[in-house]
Chains A and B, each alone.
Chain A
Amino acid sequence: MSGFPAALVLEQLLNGLQLGLMLFLLASGLTLVLGIMDVVNLAHGSLYMLGAYFAATLARATGSFWAGVALAVLATAGVGVLLEVSVLRRVYARDHLTQVLATFALILVFNEGVRMIWGPQALLLTVPQELARPVRLLPGLGYSAYRLFLIGVGIGLAAGLFLLIHRTRLGMWVRAGASNRAMAQAMGIPIRRVFTLVFGVSAGLCAVAGALLGPILAVQVGMGEEILILAFVVIVVGGIGSVKGALVGALLVGIVDTAGRALLPPLFLRLLPPEVASNLGPAVASILIYLLMAAVLFLRPQGLFPVRA
């Protein structure tokens, strides 16, 4: 790596960390829903989109970014609970394929609903004033204060989630449900209420990610599907049902993807003839995380941190 300036590498690592932590917010909910309820929820990305739209609208209505984000998280969690009670509860007992069809139908409904309410144009959500200026980390390295804030929020929420899952009674129920649902139910855990709660919390976490990534990425229809695939990659790499796996998987995917995109093309340009490198660099960078997933699945089909014995 001698040819690369250390500042560039550090910046890309921070970007990767930030993407990874935001992915974790999505993946932790997805992995719990799949691990405990055994539901493949493709509409998870729609909740992320909804969170971003709510945040953009409510931030404008209240005039405050922070109030917008907070209200958006509450609203999206409410939608999540409604969704669980009205639709998802009916497909728990069905096979994964049926759940795929049902939640894909939900994607269509959400996308079109959003388009009908907000119109086809992307919404604008701006970085709050107090975080708009870059922070000087090292001499010669300025870094976006907003991205640093995202890293902080991500670490805080991850720590909170770990405490919730490993230190509280509710968390114990959730872990019991993930490792053996029938046994958990037999031991008297109110599994239906746990399901609704987990779904609401995971919808709220989606909204946090959607609202906070809104100023960096575009708030538009279809934003959910793009990130959904990444979240699935994360939970498969980490091991389904494992929050720790989701964290490790998310950081791996975030850093590999970001660093690959930033560092591989210049590396290839140096090693290969330019006409080959200009094609190959971006292609290899985009498939890097899928190579990672294929390799993990091939060597450890249960993921890095399997939950079920």
Chain B
Amino acid sequence: MRIRPLPASEVRRISVAIPRGAAGRLPLAAAGILLVGFPALAEAFGWRFYLNLVTKAMILGLACSGLNLVLGYGGLVSFGHATYFGLGAYTVAVLAREGIHAAWVIWPAGILVAAFAALVIGAVCLRTRGLPFIMITLAFAQMVYYGVVSLKQYGGQDGLRAPRTELGFPLGDVALYYLTLLLLSACLGILWRVVHARFGRALQAIRDNEARAVAIGFPAYPFQLVAFVLSGALTGLAGILMAHHAQYVSPAMLSWPQSGAFLLMVILGGVGRFWGGVVGAAAMVALEEVFHAATIHWQLPVGLILLGVVLLAPRGLVGLLEGRPR
């Protein structure tokens, strides 16, 4: 006997009934005001350096939030998300090298390239689970990495300059900051809708008990593939922003240590916690910066702090802030 799925109207009623974290609104509003006002402060006190640092943290936060969709909500450990990040960035640089500077061409192209790569790679990788999934995503990432390194006309191992796109207004540091903030907010809004909608709940149900989810009518493959493509597209958008931020792209952006760094930031922030990606990226950027300024051996204290987080805060920083599990 085939069990019929719950009618969509029923599912919607259930999902609306779940509280949307009203208690989290106040810190969110405070963070929003702070971020909107930050460039003015930075201008007044001459903190241009910190302005760029916050831009970088927001870009990485976007990439990690994209990864968190598959990692946290889908339960799929992708060890190759640097691929989509790097492909987004390389699209900017390669199109600029070919003389195409129009933002309305470059930006959608970058997102499409990343999403298409995620579609192809996800379509193959999602046929496996567990450790094989981790390794096969890594395998594809390495193939793309070596593919990009071999493109001698686009810099090969040395990378490529990526001048900022002409958007109709000069894209200075402050403009890029606000653009990043706007896009990050928009993408987080989309992600919030996605993970709280029927689609997101189905994705989490598949993560928690695949056999049961499939039995009640949510086939794993299409749900996970859509999540994978959306995740790749968001990470690709972060890559585009990073190319503009650094004005330079290199194969290191597609390398496996970069994929590992994304995983690390999400784990640090909190896997499957909505703010995990953003908090983890911000914490990592801050950690690196604090110790980088203090000592050339900054990796040692960062490593020890990460170790402490693992042993003392198993649910990541967001889990630590939220207190005991409900």
Contact = CB atoms under 8 A, between A and B. Distances in A.
Given A236-B131, A236-B135, A290 B142 contact: yes
A267 B138 CA distance: 28
Given A104-B306, A109-B304, A236-B135, A297 B150 contact: no
A225 interface: yes
A73 to B, nearest CB: 25
A102 B297 CA distance: 19
Interface stretch (B5-13, B27-35, B308-316): B308-316
Given A112-B299, A279-B150, A298-B124, A98 B267 contact: yes
B299 A108 contact: yes
A112 B300 CA distance: 5
B136 A294 contact: yes
Given A286-B146, A298-B124, A105 B139 contact: no
A233 B138 CA distance: 10
Contacts of B143: 287, 290-291, 294
Interface in B132-189: 132, 135-136, 138-140, 142-143, 146-147, 149-152
Nearest to B143: A287
Contacts of A229: 138, 142, 256
B147 A101 contact: no
Interface stretch (A1-9, A87-95, A167-175, A203-211): A87-95
A155 interface: no
Contacts, number: 119
Contact of B77 (A97, A111, A115, A302): A97
Interface in B212-250: none
B307 interface: yes
B10 to A, nearest CB: 33
Interface in A251-300: 278-280, 282-283, 286-287, 290-291, 293-294, 297-298
Contacts of B139: 233, 290-291, 293-294, 297
A115 B263 CA distance: 25
A100 B260 CA distance: 9
Contact of A105 (B132, B147, B306): B306
Interface of A: 87, 90-91, 94, 96-98, 100-102, 104-109, 111-113, 115-116, 225, 229, 232-233, 236, 240, 278-280, 282-283, 286-287, 290-291, 293-294, 297-298, 301-302
18 contacts: A96-B77, A97-B267, A97-B271, A100-B264, A105-B303, A107-B303, A109-B299, A109-B300, A109-B303, A112-B299, A112-B300, A112-B303, A278-B152, A290-B140, A290-B143, A293-B136, A297-B128, A298-B127
Given A94-B310, A279-B150, 10 more contacts: A102-B311, A104-B306, A109-B299, A112-B298, A229-B256, A232-B135, A290-B139, A290-B140, A301-B128, A302-B132
- Top 5 A-B residue pairs of the complex, sorted by shortest distance between their CB atoms: A108-B303, A283-B150, A105-B306, A109-B303, A112-B300
